[in-house]
Amino acid sequence: MYQSKRINKKFGFTLHLFRARFKRNKSNALHKGAGFTLIELLAGMAIFVVLFGTLTTFIVWVYRSNVKFQALSEVSTNTQRATQIIIDEVRSASSVYLPTTNATQLSLETSRYQPAGETLSFVDFFICDTQLCMKKETDTSPVAITSNKVQIDSLDFDLLSNDDGPYLVQITLVVSYKQSSGALEEQAQTSITSTAILRSY
């Protein structure tokens, strides 16, 4: 009887220790799952800063690359188009009108754009403001053949001729992009030199 009571008492004490330990472990588990430690928070913030910085750098790079591409494309397209228009007019012209032709203006006599009752007409190329303009005799005002997104930095016409041959017109054109903010990626300039011969000579 005495031994039975001793066993029950020992069992009860063991059960009490088990319950106490279980409650303590459960409390610790709940406490650990209740939030983040300072080290975990600092590590998370460091990862976020790195990812945010990388993403921001990439976005800025894409934006600047796009602006640079647009500037180069605008300059190249305008230069080629303007030069081709001048070359086409030179090739179809009857002659170069020397009285009004100089280093920065080209005047051509042509059978195109004839006024009523006339057999010949005149067409001029020159810089107006910051654009390259074309003025037909039938027009009341010059027409810009370059966009307002670019500016003409230099325009030069040279007449090259042989004693018995037609004039060769050499066109040198320097075009740059109009910068709105002065940013480095907006800087774009191109230069082209082309030569055309009067076929109707």
pLDDT in tens, 88-133: 999 999 899 999 999 999 999 998 888 777 888 999 999 999 999 9
Residues 161 and 92 in one domain: yes
The per-residue pLDDT for 17 is 53
Cα-Cα end-to-end distance for the chain: 140
Residue 40 lies inside a defined structural domain of this protein: no
- Overall domain count for the chain: 2
Render the burial of 23-58: b for 16+ CB within 10 Å, e for the rest: eeeeeeeeeeeeeeeeeeeeeeeeeeeeeeeeeeee
Residue 98 lies inside a defined structural domain of this protein: yes
Residues 13 and 75 in one domain: no
The per-residue pLDDT for 138 is 86
pTM score of the predicted model: 0.71
Mean pLDDT of 156-179: 86
What residues make up the domain containing 176? 47-197
Statement: residue 193 has pLDDT above 60:
yes
Residues 93 and 179 in one domain: yes
Percent of the chain with pLDDT strictly greater than 90: 55
Residue 167 lies inside a defined structural domain of this protein: yes
Statement: residue 13 has pLDDT above 80:
no
Q: Which two tokens stand for residue 163?
A: 């004693």
DSSP string covering the chain: -HHHHHHHHHHHHHHHHHHHHHHHHHHHHHHHTTS--HHHHHHHHHHHHHHHHHHHHHHHHHHHHHHHHHHHHHHHHHHHHHHHHHHHHHHHEEEE-GGG-BTTBEEEEESSSPPTT-S-EEEEEEEETTEEEEEETT-SS-EESS-TTEEEEEEEEEEEE-SSS-EEEEEEEEEEE--SS--GGG--EEEEEEEEE-TT-
Closest CA to 67 of 188, 199, 167, 198: 188
More confident: 19 or 2: 19
The per-residue pLDDT for 5 is 45
More confident: 30 or 52: 52
The per-residue pLDDT for 51 is 93
Residues 55 and 30 in one domain: no
Residues 141 and 165 in one domain: yes
Residues 56 and 101 in one domain: yes
Statement: residue 149 has pLDDT above 80:
yes
Residues 146 and 57 in one domain: yes
Residue 180 lies inside a defined structural domain of this protein: yes
Statement: residue 11 has pLDDT above 70:
no
Residues 191 and 120 in one domain: yes
Residues 31 and 53 in one domain: no
Residue 14 lies inside a defined structural domain of this protein: yes
Closest CA to 64 of 191, 181, 178, 148: 181
Residues 67 and 120 in one domain: yes
Residue 57 lies inside a defined structural domain of this protein: yes
Residue 174 lies inside a defined structural domain of this protein: yes
Residue 9, CA distances (Å) to 13, 21, 25, 119 in order: 6, 18, 24, 132
Residue 42 lies inside a defined structural domain of this protein: no
Residue 28 identity (one-letter amino acid): N
Residues 112 and 155 in one domain: yes
Residues 15 and 109 in one domain: no
Closest CA to 110 of 95, 124, 99, 98: 95
Confidence band for 73, pLDDT divided at 50, 70 and 90: very high
The per-residue pLDDT for 7 is 46
